[in-house]
Structure 1
Amino acid sequence: MTQRQLYLGPLTDNRRWDRVAIRADDVIVVTPPKCGTTWMQTIIALLFSGDPEVETELSIRMPWVDIRLRDLEEVAERLEGMTHRRSMKSHTPMDGLPLDDQAQYICVFRHPLDAHLSNRRHMHNMPITFYSHWFPEDDPDGIAFRRFLDGGPEGFDMDAMPLAHILRHYKAAIALADRPNVTLFHFADMARDLEGVFAKVSDLLDISHNSETMAQLVRAATFDNMKANAERFAPSGGKGFFKSDSAFFHSGSNGQWAGMLSDDEIARYDAMMAASLTPEERAWLEYGSAGVPMG
């Protein structure tokens, strides 16, 4: 990839990656928001350390490079000063990132409707008002869902995570999925078989631990454990950034949108998905490797 797509939003700026010198053993977690980013980062932090009690401190140790709210020079200098193996996160699609032939890119996706509802709650839990008009807490007219369907993949819209931005993420990742260092994961598979996901990630990163240690790491990364210890596992947890750290882990369930959207809203979503993806691509994006809802 020689020409990078420009992604500039009120919260994020992918040009910030120009200040980061990618190392061959770097691990970059690339996702739309609320699709399992923190979950995957936690898995990586646990595998790096081999310690189920490690203080993850994701915002500092595995920084979100794109975000405008942190001073770029401070982030770049902190990353450059790290002597251990590094991991970073990005909410920029793969076509907007520097692509190194050796670094590992781990892309995580979730059913778009579950991601949308999770993002609504996330916006209400944050002290940032960029998109308060997109996500009214009292929304009898369905403004949030209408903007989810109408928003564009770039510019001001993208940081509110409309469907078009999720689809851009997905298609950009699919386009590179034949590379040995680009791997797609799904939130539903993490919920179904966390132990299997740990095994796959550890293989990708060439990290091994004995079976007892791995079992302890898997237990530490269960959704229930992260929610119960939200000050430890939430990004910037315990620092008052969120109204509630625990609310960051509101629900690890799938299919939470069922019964919350009208038939017309679902029909409009279905039409956009059918026009954008093949049936096979859609099945994976919504349900992961099983291709069907969890029973």
Structure 2
Amino acid sequence: MSEHAADPATEAFVAHRNLLFTVAYEILGSAADAEDVLQETWLRWVKVDLDQIRDQRAYLIRITTRQSLNRLRTLQRRREAYVGPWLPEPLLTAPDTADDVELAESVSMALMLVLETLTPTERAVFVLHEAFDVGYDEIAEAVDKSPAAVRQIAHRARRHVDARRPRKVVSAGERRAALEAFQRAVETSDLQALLGVLAPEVVVVSDGGGRKLAALQPVVGADKAIRLFVGSMQKVGGTLTTEPVVVNGNPALLFRLDGEVDGVAALRIEDARVTGIYYVRNPEKLSRIESETALTLR
């Protein structure tokens, strides 16, 4: 559709598309499903009488949230049968995404994994209120609850998440230094260097989805993490290279085997050391790892 032919409904949808995608992605953890939700949102949006809409952004978020909740309830049943740990679909983001601390935290693999432990309604309420600053009254309309109930759900979800997410904001310099040190240590299989960059309590979660070799349980502790990575490198039948990238607004390493994408490891960094490694190898989740995805909270 040309610019001149665009109608008001289309213009409003396009103007908010990146925001709506981010809402759906944070609720679902899947870019592919978020795209499907946007399609469903569009089909409902074009049937709306715009003259009756006071706040187009709020109305679009409401439709997107309802469609995301419907899909999330279905996805949760599928994830129960998933082979090994399930990780969110990683998204390649622009380098300056990391400079937006609020956005980088809200879409980080670490926080997205914590959100998986919430109920669908808790997750939607938390995401809308904490990340997108949506008021309780608007959230109540989106999730079909009373404002009082939404306030209680938000409090419960925030307490749950706060107990599990990183406490400190890490500077860009610390992130860069830790990523570079981790990359050098992995490329050279330098065990001493790996011990120096990994926190003693580091947790490695790897997602192969039954399609690629990956640990079937989270690996806890630096010694075990090193054995996992070094062992995996030694089993590679080809040339493995690494490339620093920004995934979900946070530092990551993209792994290529003989030039083809093999996986991506997103890092959680605290006190200049790596405390979490989220390693996605499932090919079905790597389709967006070579082209940037625009995310926004506004």
Common fold, TM-score beyond 0.5? no
Q: What TM-score do you get using the length of structure 2 for normalisation? A: 0.30
Q: Which has the higher strand share?
A: 2
TM-score, normalisation: structure 1: 0.30
Q: Name the larger-Rg structure.
A: 2
